[in-house]
Structure 1
Amino acid sequence: MSVKVDVQLDCKGLSCPMPIVRTKKAMDQLEPGQVIEVQATDPGSLADIQSWAKNVGHQYLGTKQEGDLLKHYLRKAGNYVMKERKYPRMIQNEELIQKLNSDKNIYILDVREPAEFAFGHIPGACSIPLVDLENRIAEVPKDRTVYVICRTGTRSDMAAQLLTGHGFENIINVVPGMSVWTGPVEQEN
């Protein structure tokens, strides 16, 4: 699995809570959506990093272990918080899971960032990050129903609006999205 990171942070040899302290300072320097790789050797850092990210609102993407080295991946929280969704056609996660079981010709467009996609996505989903969608819109089929998914339904709502504005007719926003997805998931190798 290859994860594109914006910053690498060396916390090897430090005991908790020092990896958290250093990660917090490094996150303050990142732009929303950027990914940091925190390299640590303290086994306790796994639970600590996950808990800290959840408590402060950043996204814990996952951890890769290479021998004694733990590489934790976090994505800085975005500033695109939206209170209500504007795109009217939605489907709940559970309904999409049922469709996946009965229809193998489903087109799923995942508009999360590449690192989010790498750590877990619906098998067969196409990855086009929201920031790239307008430039890659020709890759999305107009002749199929397109189920758009992100982490929480916010970016997918914006993507659904964008696609509809470009003449797409069969667009459905999947809510609440991958943050609570219980269906099949695969990771990039």
Structure 2
Amino acid sequence: MKTETADGATLETWTVDEVQQALKNHDIVLIDVRTPQEYMFEHIPGALLLPMSFVDCASLPGQTDKRIVFHCGSGMRSEKVARKAIAEGFDRIAHMEGGFGAWKSAQKPYMGTNMATGAPQMVQP
């Protein structure tokens, strides 16, 4: 994990391996900030959808029990949302480096769409 101090707060950048392990251990809440269409087509199992355009940091829960980790397609939107959370008072927040693209490149399992049927299916690369 990389850390950076931003406006007196800590911005964490997690690798896909760290996110996968933390999800397995139930240590994080993974929030997907992509669009509903992107999420419906393919997503990380267990990730919650909160599109970037709807993020209201004041409504996010505290992180006493679980760290919040944002992710998007490439890491750009999730970093913007993480920085927004810092600007709105979070003293520590995280996002996943490389986003969903890095997750797929690392051959992690994800929920995809069966193109023949349109049904969701687990993809185990």
The amino acid across from 1:151 in the alignment is G
Residues 27 and 67, structure 2, Cα contact 8 Å, conserved in 1: no
More strand by share: 2
| Structure 1 residues 163 and 91: CA distance shift in structure 2, 3 A | same
Name the counterpart of 1:141: 61
CA distance in 1, matches of 2:79, 2:33: 10
Structure 1 portions without partners, runs of 5+:
1-85
> What's the counterpart of residue 97 of structure 2?
175
**Mapped partners of 2:86, 2:102: distance in 1:** 26
Q: Do structure 1's residue 106 and structure 2's residue 28 form an aligned pair?
A: yes
Whether the aligned pair in 2 keeps the contact of 1:91 and 1:172 (CA below 8 Å) is yes
> What's the CA shift for 1:90?
0.4
1:147 is displaced (CA, Å) by 0.6
Where 1:118 maps in the other structure, the secondary structure is helix
CA distance in 2, matches of 1:170, 1:119: 30
- The structure 1 residue matched to 2:13, chosen from 73, 90, 98, is 90
* Structure number with higher relative contact order (C-alpha < 8 Å, ≥ 6 residues apart): 2
State the match for 1:130 in structure 2. 52
Indicate if the aligned counterparts of 2:69 and 2:94 stay in contact, CA closer than 8 A: yes
Once residues 74 and 39 of structure 2 are traced to their aligned partners in structure 1, the CA distance between those partners, rounded to angstroms, is: 13
- The answer as to whether partners of 1:142 and 1:169 remain within 8 angstroms in 2 is no
Cα gap change, 1:95 to 1:117, in 2 (>3 Å): same
Alpha-carbon separation, structure 1, partners of 2:18 and 2:38:
22
Aligned length: 101
Q: Work out the percentage of aligned pairs sharing the same amino acid.
A: 28
CA-to-partner distance for each residue in 1:20-70, whole Å, 9 max, x for gaps? xxxxxxxxxxxxxxxxxxxxxxxxxxxxxxxxxxxxxxxxxxxxxxxxxxx
Distance in 1, Cα, partners of 2:68 & 2:92: 6
Looking at structure 1, the residues matched to 61 and 109 of structure 2 have their Cα atoms a distance apart, in angstroms, of 23
SS at match of 1:104: coil
Larger radius of gyration: 1
- How far did 1:183 drift? 2.4
Does the 8 Å CA contact 1:149/1:156 hold for their aligned counterparts? yes
Report the counterpart of residue 37 of structure 2 in structure 1: 115
Unpaired runs of at least 5, structure 2: 113-118, 121-125
Partners in 2 of 1:183 and 1:158 — Cα distance?
A: 24
RMSD value, Cα: 2.2
